[in-house]
Amino acid sequence: MKTITVRLPEPLVADIEAESRGRKISKSDVVRERLQLTPRQRRRRMASLDTIADLIGSVGGLPTDLSTRKRAYLRAMGYGQKRPR
What was the pLDDT predicted at 74?
Answer: 87
CB atoms within 10 A of CB 30: 19
Residue 4 placed within a domain: no
Enclosing domain of residue 59: 10-77
Residue 25 placed within a domain: yes
Q: What angle do CA 80, 83, 71 make, to 5 degrees?
A: 20
What was the pLDDT predicted at 42?
Answer: 64
Looking at the 3D structure of the chain, how many domains does it have?
A: 1
User: pLDDT means per 10 residues in the chain (85 residues)?
Assistant: 91 92 92 83 66 74 83 86 80
What's the pLDDT tens digit per position in 27-47? 999 999 888 887 776 666 666
Residue 82 placed within a domain: no
Residue 32 placed within a domain: yes
Residue 84 placed within a domain: no
Helices (H), the chain: 10-23, 27-36, 39-52, 70-77
What was the pLDDT predicted at 64?
Answer: 81
Residue 2 placed within a domain: no
What was the pLDDT predicted at 36?
Answer: 87
